[in-house]
A = this chain, B = another copy of it.
Amino acid sequence: MLNRKMDTVYASDVLRQLDNVLIVTHVRPDGDALGAALGLGALMRGNLRRAQVLLPDPLPEKYLPLVRNADFLTEFPAGGLTQYDALIVLDCARNDRVAMGSGTDYPPQDISILNIDHHGDNNVQAEWSCVVPDAAATSAILVRIAALIGWKMTPQAATFFYLGIMTDTGAFRFSNTSPDTHRLVASLLENNADHDQVIQAVYFSKSRNQQLFEADMVQNYSKVDFDGRYAWAALPDEFFRKYGFSMRDGEMLIELLRELSGVKIAVLLYLAGGQVKVSLRSKDPACPVGPLARKLGGGGHEMAAGVTLKTSDLNSAAAMLREEVGKLL
């Protein structure tokens, strides 16, 4: 397989020639994964292309109102991949993170692949790769590409791209937010992105149960170490069971650690599928967490990264992370 690295101009030249695509994104999709995939699907269909979006994983509950009228598959297409011109992989940094459903492994051999992402460490195998680490979100790259192609931004596509940019920038608060990010969003709002629907779903639809879960986490599980520079929490399974809460809805939990004054690094640990998952955030460019995540076998951005450890021992994983973070502080 070719593996051509390209910028958004070249990627737009590739994309404009595709007529019938399957769009996929990463496992456990977050706001940008959903926004990019469903946004591109809506955009292409709104511009006389055929596009299907495959989302085999369960979606975070709060996003369900947003996808109610969206068109996507939850299972690998019965006709296989040969019916498509190309497979488009969005917001996905590694082969083993591509959510293909149970139909096939990644990379499939019988189709051209266009890989579009903003994770600097992206090493997804693809014929064409457009990786823009400066972009705040994969959705932002797609807005740029749509403008380069000259596609009409439909309200539904604008709404999904707005979702992606809003969530990946933490409402324009994270350091990945640039003047361009704000200008792209101004254009999306002018193209009738449904600001209210996105905001209600993402920020104003917390369940009372989740609020109580978070209050309990703050009081009983979150800890600060190294004179307040390190905030962390290791959440055992029984804590999730107590509230019937799933990490699928926990995208924002790490904010409860990051928001604390004086914290430079925040780490959240929990069990998923018998392995310890670790989310890492930095608030100080002088101690990025990307290198630590990569050292442990994970990846992500410099200030926001993650890793799945090959252990089911939450406490020893937490102790190991504490030691590693101590070296960075």
Contact = CB atoms under 8 A, between A and B. Distances in A.
A186 interface: yes
State the oligomeric state as a number of copies: 2
Contact of A259 (B173, B189, B203, B258): B203
A199 B173 contact: yes
A159 interface: no
Contacts of A205: 259-262
B175 A196 contact: yes
A258 to B, nearest CB: 6
B172 A204 contact: no
Given A171-B171, A215-B218, A283 B186 contact: no
Interface string A191-211: 000011001100111111001
Interface residues of A, number: 45
27 contacts: A171-B171, A172-B185, A174-B199, A175-B195, A175-B196, A177-B189, A177-B195, A179-B185, A179-B186, A180-B186, A182-B182, A182-B185, A182-B186, A182-B189, A183-B183, A183-B186, A203-B259, A204-B263, A205-B260, A206-B259, A208-B224, A211-B260, A214-B215, A214-B218, A215-B216, A215-B218, A215-B219
